[in-house]
A and B are shown apart, each in its own frame.
Chain A
Amino acid sequence: MISNFNFYKLLPWAVTLLLILPIIALIFNAFSIDNSGTFQHLIDTVLLTYSLNTLFLILGVVSLSFIFALPVAWFVACCEFPSRTILQWALMLPLALPPYIVAIVYTDLLDFSGPVQQFLRSLMGWQQISDYYFPDIRSLLGAILILSLTLYPYLYLLLRSAFLGQSGALFQAARSLGLSPLAAFFRVSLPLSRSAIAVGLSLIAMESLGDFATVNYFAVSTLTTAVYDTWLELGSLTTAAKISSLMLLALVVLITLENYSRRKQKIYQRSGATHTELRFVLRGWKKWGALLFSWSLLIGAFILPLLTLFYYALSYFSESLNARLWQYTLNSFWLAIIVAGLALVIALIVNFYQRLSPGILAKSCIRLSSLGYAVPGTVVAIAVLIPFTNIDLLLNQLLVEFGFSRVGLLFSGTLFILVIAYLVRFSAIAVGSIDSSLAQVSPSLDLASRSLGQNAAQTIRRVNLPLIKKGMLSATILVFIEAMKELPTALLLRPFNFETLATYVYQFVSDEMIEFAALPALLIVLMGLLPFIIVNRLLENAT
């Protein structure tokens, strides 16, 4: 429809290709022959243990998150009790905390020299570690706890809106047929939320599968740490690719489950009136139980870690506030801004392709460009390394052959590759966000504009873009937050001497120097939290 026909159809595919090329390269590489025998060695020794650890981690986090999220979502959506309105939004705040920061806080609180064990020792008169048993936080169970505390909001948010979206009349009908509120919950509300639960749990499972920092810090060996180690320590890209492909396989299962459940969820979702008018008023022990559970979760997952960070940040403020901190903050900030801006451009390109020529081609373009969203950071890092190191090698070879001097690792050794990796991972967020806000713009507006003599480009500029301003802003902010927090990709791909806030924090985390990690960690949290609040305001005003 635009005069420059070819360009307008080629661009979205070029962009999509850029985003999926690394993943294709990864799968391709994984099937190539491994001469070093490293992978065979891994199979013979530790791969089974690593896989089982990953499996147990996922199962543990999924179960514990479910136990955390289900009651609070129900309290907040369907019941009435004091502080409900605060909890309603506060319970999603833990999303702003990177798990490895929560992990270091809990390690500090719970290890031998931490306040909890000191208190117990002084209370019971124990002298040394052999006098008593205290569970070690730096273990698989500890990792499960930490990840559940930070990941449960995914399920909480989906469940809450599922409960709110259910027709109140159904619940009333169940009550009128003689069911107690609790029985009605288990026989009506919960079954109706099945797909929301499946979607939430598969998201949590994907995040757990991809977690690197927490398990690495707790010295729990999983597939992600295996990828990291084989690349950084053994230097075998092929082996790393093979392990990564194992994770991709698990992801395919999870994504299929998620997509299937999302489709089913639409059947149960219903717009219009909500549950609100018939909230179940909690009294007596029920009220206190709900309060105790919800607030314990909020304190454990958010308030306590945040306060601890504040305490250390203030105590070591002058030591932490230095030129390096300033530099790394700027690094993180600009990197996140660039990635967010590019992700927005990509999202606009593929979404307007779909808007202008809807059909199976455009649909697959959107699907493919969103493929990277669930892929763990370590895997994406390995994936982008494969094509770009090859391109660098080829380039240098060519240059030498034609008598020029080498340029070094022009792509894989610079910020370029880091930006690409971030885009592979986070473009999906922007694509999805633009997709849903564009879907709210009635197609008849486009047709009206066209019938009033405006061509496709004018229609986009005068009608579509002004109407998705909020969607564009929230897409940018969401990608910004993710890019600020991202650790494993940055650890693996950052150019020499380049630090982001996250890698800076993680150095201190690895060295167990929480007092110096606190201030930069707080910066990450705040830079995530503020935009997060803005986005939520935007989304609430939009509906």
Chain B
Amino acid sequence: MSALVVNKLSCFYQDNQVLESLDLELENNEIICLLGESGCGKTTLLKAVAGLQTKLSGEVKINGKTVNDNGVNVAPEKRKVGLIFQDYALFPHLNVFDNVAFSLSQYSKEEKKKRVDDVLALVRLCDYAQRFPHQLSGGQQQRIAIARALAYQPDLMLLDEPFSNLDHHVRFQLIHEIRELLKVRSMSALFVTHSKEEGFAFADKIALMQAGKIVQIGSAQNLYSHPKSKYVADFMGQSNYLKVCVKDKYSYQSDLGLLTSNTLIEFETGKALNLLLRPEQIAIETAVNGLGTVKQVDFLGAYQQITVSYQNNDYRIKQSNHFGDCMQFKVGDKVTLSVLSHDFVVFTQ
């Protein structure tokens, strides 16, 4: 049984369709990241699952239980979903212990303490039970928020940009920590972010959203290497587009020479297409008679990014720095470019 099933979910907000007949399925013990620009509907989807969104049509099932359907709208407090927020949402008037014990009113004092200690140990903050939220760092507050949600033993965890307020170095440490934690507890989770790096690090699968729809869902590698549209390609990483022309079933003609495809080309001969080239899929070499000219060189630590003007098109190329300074380029250098062998992705527009 799936942890979450969303079936043909639509949502209107002030005459705008925020979600458009959206389908999504979350397996048990799976973490899916809803990735997209602000306003694409990802937070609305999260709220809809949590029961905080009105004016919905479609079906939502949590652990096989229908919580949203025609005429059915289960109150948020009866859905057993854990919610994690960008601003942590710890109750400022309660200390850490009381925050974590918030949902445990029905238990005896001993049982309560046992459960709180249990989850605090999980997030490694046992010594902080008597502190108040404002006495904790952002990362600690978010861990307490996770502990509070876990203490309630939810069926599903929903995380709304939970790492956005944290410094870069704390952020990725916490992302790994919380991912481990959810995996240990066999939690299924839906995670919303606009940062693909967070999505890569946290989720098993990424669902990229655009204008109320999921445009592609799959592993991060899959979305990066085999995007189904230019939008997905551009969102997942830097992209160059090379104009190519189908020569036969196995090769393309292009400005960068004849390109041999690893797979059978499905388009008819002579069809003009755009070939996606990631910056690391282009090789660059100095050549006195090269047709390309180096326009800009950006040193970025582990690699450098070189912008080359080649027959009126600009190409961005990523060059690892592990060669030391033997591959130094200067603005104005003449270079040749070539395409490294990989599974080609082409778009018709």
Contact = CB atoms under 8 A, between A and B. Distances in A.
Contact of A447 (B50, B75, B102, B148): B50
Nearest to B76: A450
B103 A452 contact: yes
A462 B93 CA distance: 10
A451 B92 contact: no
B306 interface: no
A458 to B, nearest CB: 8
A451 B149 CA distance: 8
Interface residues on A, range: 10 to 19
Nearest to A459: B77
A92 B86 CA distance: 40
Interface in A184-200: none
B76 A451 contact: yes
B224 interface: no
What DSSP secondary structure best describes chain A's contact surface?
helix
Contacts of A454: 77, 102-103
Residue from B77, B81, B85 whose CB has the most chain A CB atoms within 10 Å: B77
A30 to B, nearest CB: 38
Contacts of B149: 451-452
Contacts of B78: 453
B76 A444 contact: no
Given A442-B87, A447-B76, A452 B148 contact: yes
Contacts of B77: 450-455
Interface in B34-81: 50-52, 75-81
Contacts of B158: 451
B52 A447 contact: yes
Given A1-B75, A451-B77, A453-B77, A444 B152 contact: no
A447 to B, nearest CB: 6
B83 interface: yes
A453 B151 CA distance: 12
A292 to B, nearest CB: 45
Interface residues of B, number: 27
A463 interface: yes
Contacts of B93: 466-467
A452 B75 contact: no
B50 A452 contact: no
A439 to B, nearest CB: 14
A455 B105 CA distance: 13
Interface in A361-390: none
A463 B91 contact: yes
Interface string B145-156: 100110010100
A216 interface: no
Most chain B Cβ neighbours within 10 Å, of A1, A452, A462: A452
Given A448-B85, A450-B52, A452-B148, 9 more contacts: A448-B145, A450-B75, A450-B76, A451-B81, A451-B154, A452-B102, A453-B80, A466-B93, A467-B93
24 contacts: A444-B83, A444-B85, A444-B87, A444-B89, A447-B85, A447-B89, A448-B85, A448-B91, A449-B91, A450-B77, A451-B77, A451-B81, A451-B152, A452-B77, A452-B102, A452-B149, A452-B152, A453-B80, A454-B77, A454-B103, A462-B102, A463-B91, A466-B93, A467-B91
Closest 4 CB pairs of A and B: A452-B103, A444-B89, A451-B83, A448-B89
